[in-house]
Amino acid sequence: MTAAQQRMLAALKGLSVGEAYGQQLWQQVQTGLAVAEQPSLLPAPWLWTDATLMACSLVDHLWHYGTVHSAALAADFALRYTPIRDYGTAMHTLLAKPRDGAAVMSDAQNLFDGQGSFGVGAAMRAAPLGLFFAEAPLSQVAQQAQLSALTTHTNPEAVAGAVAVAVAGAILWRERDQPLRQPSAILNEIVQYLPSSSLEHRLALAAAMNDRQMWHHIALRLSNGYQHSAQAIVPWCLWCAVHYRDDYAAAIEQVCAAGGNVTSMAAIVGGLLAGTLGRDCIPPPWLRAREPLPHWFLASLGIETD
């Protein structure tokens, strides 16, 4: 197993545990419990959703190809589609039957009257890609993230979300053993690789806000995950990941404290932090509670357990 593959797997593990954690919180919200309740009080297994499943396809793809072949990846997303995994409405429509990847991508372009989806799905699965390419030029990381996003999400906001998460993962990994830069410097560096978009503007705004004590105000300014769009979710996620980049659990708890789409937010932050810090940063009780990754995925990679 190469170092790049190890980083990618660590990011996938962190993504899946974060998503499963967030999903437990989301279920508590839906049943009227306070979001501050600890999901560790809930019985295992903690189930992951579509972000983990699609990230498994992306990791498997990069494992075998070493680069993104968009049509092949889109076809695998459709092949692995599992209705119970809580996909967004547009993705249910797009992936409901196995078919040629080019057809999937064509239909993705036509979603929402030709505007494409600006949902957060492409960003949710992007952290493992960023860690896989972490030693490549950041322009290449951004290009590969764009190719991965366009399989299902063609709106510039969704593409910007995937690029932002992937580039963030690469930067955080590179700086893991370096003197800590100011969070604002890291966020501003990520902004340089984004297409012109609302997400770009909001991430630049995030870079200007550094007071952790004002986190609730910051989350509201960045428009946290009460909307399911990439531009409403990714900036707050990256603010938390950069400000709490040395503590997986603290970063996830912070991003979820704002409420909203905690499943998506915890997946993004979990992938970034575990990919940067390594798999051992994940609290063992959380990892034990998370359901195993799919059998087909482990078999394809030739590993017995995740």
Judged by DSSP in three states, 51 sits in: helix
97-105 long-range CB contacts below 8 Å, 24 or more apart? 99/75, 100/71, 100/75, 101/70, 101/71, 101/72, 101/73, 101/74, 101/75, 101/76, 101/151, 102/71, 102/74, 104/74, 104/75, 104/77, 104/78, 104/151, 104/152, 105/70, 105/71, 105/74, 105/150, 105/151
Question: Which of 125, 57, 74, 5 shows the shortest CA–CA distance to 293?
Answer: 57
| C-alpha distance from residue 148 to each of 125, 218, 254 (Å) | 9, 30, 28
Rg (CA), the chain: 17
pLDDT at 35 over 60: no
Residue 299 and residue 259 in contact, taking contact as beta carbons nearer than 8 Å: no
What integer is the mean pLDDT of 254-262?
88
Q: Give the tens place of pLDDT for each residue, 123-142.
A: 999 999 999 999 999 999 99
pLDDT confidence tier of residue 32, bands split at 50, 70 and 90: low
pLDDT confidence tier of residue 40, bands split at 50, 70 and 90: low
pLDDT confidence tier of residue 226, bands split at 50, 70 and 90: low
pLDDT confidence tier of residue 203, bands split at 50, 70 and 90: very high
pLDDT at 37 over 60: no
The rounded distance, in Å, linking the Cα atoms of 286 and 280 is 12
Of residues 4 and 118, more confidently modeled: 4
Return the pLDDT at 41.
59
Residue 168 and residue 161 in contact, taking contact as beta carbons nearer than 8 Å: no
* Structure-token pair, residue 271: 């992938």
Q: Give the tens place of pLDDT for each residue, 212-224.
A: 788 888 888 887 5
Residues marked as binding? 49-50, 264
pLDDT confidence tier of residue 29, bands split at 50, 70 and 90: low
Q: List b or e across 129-144, with b for residues whose CB sees 16 or more CB atoms inside 10 angstroms.
A: bbbbbbeeebeebbbb
Mean pLDDT of the chain: 89
Of residues 166 and 87, more confidently modeled: 166
pTM summary value: 0.93
Return the pLDDT at 224.
59
Percent over 90 (pLDDT), the chain? 65
Question: Which of 290, 208, 295, 301 shows the shortest CA–CA distance to 13?
Answer: 290
**DSSP code for 282:** S
Q: Which domains does the chain have, with CATH numbers?
A: 3-301 (1.10.4080.10)
What integer is the mean pLDDT of 94-98?
78
What integer is the mean pLDDT of 57-75?
96
pLDDT confidence tier of residue 181, bands split at 50, 70 and 90: confident
Residue 248 and residue 14 in contact, taking contact as beta carbons nearer than 8 Å: yes
Return the pLDDT at 58.
98
* Structure-token pair, residue 131: 């860690």
Return the pLDDT at 82.
85
Question: Which of 196, 110, 195 shows the shortest CA–CA distance to 154?
Answer: 110
Q: Residue 257: exposed, middle, or buried by beta-carbon count in 10 A (0-12, 13-18, 19+)?
A: middle
Return the pLDDT at 220.
84
Which range in 21-35, 60-74, 252-266 is most confidently predicted, on average pLDDT? 60-74
CB neighbours (10 Å) of residue 125? 32
Q: What angle is formed at CA 245 by the lines to CA 291 and CA 117, rounded to 5 degrees? A: 65
* Structure-token pair, residue 300: 């394809």
Residues marked as binding for Mg(2+)? 49-50, 264
